[in-house]
């Protein structure tokens, strides 16, 4: 009998957890798991977390799901594009429309700049938002 190899989808879960200074047991507890075994399966890519768990992980790590589960996310986008081709290119929206050039979720302020025409009011709103984000980031990092 031939055993089928499990597909492994790489992700950033372990890296992100380590960057946040968290242990597997600690995160597993926050997820409501009794042991870190399931989290280990998510991190090594043999299991994909369900939506509820992925949302919890995104909250714990403070990062978008698509960034956290990058290879799985990209596989989903490829599947959608494949189905689009089968359907003759008919789409409701394109998967890449909701992400920026860095692969993160695009904010509403970026949408302001992508709109036509870009007026002075929109630029002032975005500039204020960006300044606030930079200041808050600097404060969190202890640079202010």
The model carries a pTM of 0.57
Rounding to the nearest 10 degrees, give the CA dihedral for residues 70, 74, 79, 85: 160
Fold of 1-95: 434 Repressor (Amino-terminal Domain) (1.10.260)
Tens digits of pLDDT across the chain (144 residues): 455 556 677 888 999 999 999 999 999 999 999 899 999 999 998 998 999 999 999 999 988 888 888 888 888 888 988 888 888 765 555 444 444 444 455 566 665 566 667 777 777 877 887 888 888 888 888 876
Q: How many CA atoms lie within 13 A of 94 on its CB side?
A: 6
Structure tokens at 123: 């630029």
Q: What is the largest CA-CA distance in the chain?
A: 69
Q: How far apart are CA 66 and CA 139, in angstroms?
A: 26
Domain with CATH 1.10.260.40 in the chain: 1-95
Q: Which residues pair with 105 in a beta bridge?
A: 99
Sign of CA dihedral 98, 104, 110, 115: negative
- What was the pLDDT predicted at 97? 47
- Cβ neighbour number for residue 17 with a 10 Å cutoff: 21
- What was the pLDDT predicted at 95? 42
């Amino acid at each position: 009998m031939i055993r089928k190899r499990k597909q492994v989808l790489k992700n950033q879960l372990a890296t992100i957890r380590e960057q946040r200074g968290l242990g597997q047991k600690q995160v597993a507890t926050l997820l409501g798991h009794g042991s870190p075994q399931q989290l280990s399966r998510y991190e090594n890519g043999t299991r994909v977390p369900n939506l509820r768990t992925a949302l919890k992980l995104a909250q714990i790590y403070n990062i978008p799901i698509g960034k956290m589960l990058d290879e799985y996310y990209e596989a989903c986008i490829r599947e959608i594009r494949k189905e689009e081709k089968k359907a003759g290119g008919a789409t409701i929206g394109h998967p890449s429309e909701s992400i920026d050039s860095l692969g993160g979720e695009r904010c509403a302020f970026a949408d302001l700049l992508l709109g036509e025409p870009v007026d002075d009011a929109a630029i002032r709103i975005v500039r204020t938002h960006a300044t606030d984000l930079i200041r808050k980031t600097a404060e969190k990092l202890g640079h202010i």
